[in-house]
Amino acid sequence: MYAEESFKKKRERMLSILAWFRLSRFYNQSIRKSNQHLKLWNITVAQFDVLAQVGSTERLSQQELADKLLVTKGNMTQLLGKLEQLGWIQREREWKTKYITLTDEGRALLDEILPVQEQFQADQFGKLTMEEKKQLLNLLKKIQS
């Protein structure tokens, strides 16, 4: 009984590890494909993510943005500096808080890229049925919580 139970636990652990590897490989492949796709606009996935997050609100604090993107403060500062240099965002300081907004140029770029990038991402799941997409989403939510 003990050997059988131990075998089941090892098998379950191995399946979990394989699932993690598969998810990790898909994510990395998706990021590579997205970076290739976004080269058409001379923008990276990280830069696009910032534009999309800031563009979904009127303005966002630098800390809120860092929390949403799960990046360090140092990485965020460097990324925002580049986007500001490109003229796509502007930063304002109100006392201790830095706020980010899109410039007109940044908004125009986002408006041009967003629908194309959304379709590109959706196409990566094109082999799945609607039911499989719902199931995948629910499973990912379950393991994330």
pLDDT of residue 88: 97
Hey, what are 30's tokens? 């998706």
User: Domain 44-144 maps to which CATH number in 1.10.10.10, 1.25.40.10, 3.30.479.10, 3.40.50.10490?
Assistant: 1.10.10.10
Domain limits, the chain: 44-144
Query: pLDDT (tens digit, 9 = 90+) per residue, 21-72?
Result: 999 999 999 999 999 999 999 999 999 999 999 999 888 888 889 888 877 7
Query: pLDDT (tens digit, 9 = 90+) per residue, 86-118?
Result: 999 999 998 888 899 999 999 999 999 999 999
pLDDT of residue 72: 75
Beta-carbon contacts of 98 under 8 Å, excluding residues fewer than 6 positions away, are 61, 62, 91, 92
Q: Confidence band (pLDDT; 50, 70, 90) for 1?
A: low
76, 66 in Cβ contact below 8 A? Answer: yes
CA distances from 128 to 43, 62, 123, 136 (A): 29, 36, 10, 9
SS (HEC) of the chain: CHHHHHHHHHHHHHHHHHHHHHHHHHHHHHHHHHHHHHHHHCCCHHHHHHHHHHHCCCCEEHHHHHHHHCCCHHHHHHHHHHHHHCCCEEEEEECCEEEEEECHHHHHHHHHHHHHHHHHHHHCCCCCCHHHHHHHHHHHHHHHC
pLDDT of residue 71: 77
Give the residue-averaged pLDDT of 134-143. Answer: 94
